[in-house]
Amino acid sequence: MKNIFTRLASTESKIAPLILRITYALVLWPHGAQMLLGWFGGYGFSGTMSYFTGEGGLPLVIAFLVILLEFFGSLFILFGFFTRLTAVACIILFIGMILTVHEQFGFFMNWYGNMKGEGFEYHLFGMGILLSLVISGAGKASVDALIARSKNK
């Protein structure tokens, strides 16, 4: 019987999950880099922690996990490393973002700058990509595929 890690890593060598992984990481990793490193005009770790725990009202551990998940989670998705677990964690993150911040602004993003925040349509795209990866696995060119292949030998 296969162990849990082999089952979680199982995937077919398909190109579509690879495209989804690259797309997700290209969009999300810069946000994580803003929060953790201060790149791309971000506030860095201490500034983001201060905002999340102060104005955002998040508990310290949740704020810390959000920063790590956006930065390292997007890299895990990119490389196809524990893809299903990471995707589930990121779906939970997106649900939290919607419920705590974006729901009040409705569905649409703030295209014209006339609202005080952003809606949640962007988050639904991210959750769709992640749900596809939960179902399909990491696909071609992934660490998960290497793990599954080595365990099956």
Instruction: Classify burial at 72, counting beta carbons within 10 Å of its beta carbon; exposed 0-12, middle 13-18, buried 19 or more.
Output: middle
Diameter of the chain measured on Cα atoms: 58
Q: How many CA atoms lie within 13 A of 42 on its CB side?
A: 20
147 close to 21: Cβ distance less than 8 angstroms: no
- Per-residue pLDDT tens over the stretch 97-127: 999 999 889 888 888 888 888 989 999 999 9
What is the domain partition of the chain in residue ranges?
14-147
Rounded to whole angstroms, what are the CA distances from 101 to 52, 55, 81, 123?
A: 11, 11, 29, 11
pTM confidence score: 0.90
> Position of tokens 């700058």?
113
- Per-residue pLDDT tens over the stretch 15-42: 999 999 999 999 999 999 999 999 999 9
- Per-residue pLDDT tens over the stretch 47-99: 999 999 999 999 999 999 999 999 999 999 999 999 999 999 999 999 999 99
31 close to 75: Cβ distance less than 8 angstroms: no
pLDDT at 1 over 60: no
> Position of tokens 């988050």?
123
